[in-house]
Structure 1
């Protein structure tokens, strides 16, 4: 279904107002990377509370502003938050495509003004459920990557207890990953662990994004 526009969190809008040039530069960079084959990017971290969702939303807006068609996927299966952050009232999320055979088109929310389509989660997927369905989940992400220029996964954190990521099964459909780091609060060992897990998944294009704690 469609909405006129999303109600973006104030922190996302403030980021763009205060860093306008960076907003355009990130969009330009994503457009060029897309031309070079970037289709699916995961945004993760080594810990909670560092602003993964803020970075995901910001990058989605940058990419859309640069002319790309963008799918923004709530892929934090343990702590889904996109519908709350964007103030949406949803009956179904993409988890229902896995467990209740709901068509993917029925859970998509397209913002006409933003040119971004959200694929929300409306309930938690357990670690056991995710692990058992990694291949099916990856097929969903792969399908999105054929319908949109860029798929951004607002992913779960990675640590020794949580090693699974939406979009990664035997083979990864994730082309690149960003590890969000809080400049004041992040612990180096947790960052290194997340990066190491991503390397182990076969993802070689990994960047760190510093998110200032406010």
Structure 2
């Protein structure tokens, strides 16, 4: 079979203007709850895109850990490639691909670092092995072999065996303030439904809502 022959129709329903709340977070919450209820694999997984100083885009998948009217939150090593990009260019894109529900959500915004208190609160809630892994991995750096990473993990596991794992100074998180958020619902005959919310002003909680052609 040729790759160009692979296709399917979208038949799970549409999205209409009267379905849309005034605040996009409410529709996102509804869709995320439905993705969780449908037992989708990693429903909070999102692709995030950043750009380096040469204009080269990069994408990777991280997990959404919180969201509200103030933005979408994720955590990472502050020495990682994505963190380096955000130091130079705080613009970021998020994408949730809920394929089994024939839905996508795409967000554009700007990322700002979380406070030390927010980072500490989340870090201490993680399983101890995940806390240790944060210390063991110098994210995005080159490794000679996986054994080096595993050895470092075991070394730190013994070191912290009897006590709490402190928050690494090089570990933190970001809050993405939404500039726009698009909701995509698959439709029959490729007549998909797309609506985009765009913030009316930088600090406004008011949005314009427009339908986009599929």
Normalised by the shorter chain, which TM-score bucket?
under 0.3
Name whichever structure is richer in strand by fraction: 2
Q: Which has the higher helix share?
A: 1
TM-score (norm 1): 0.25
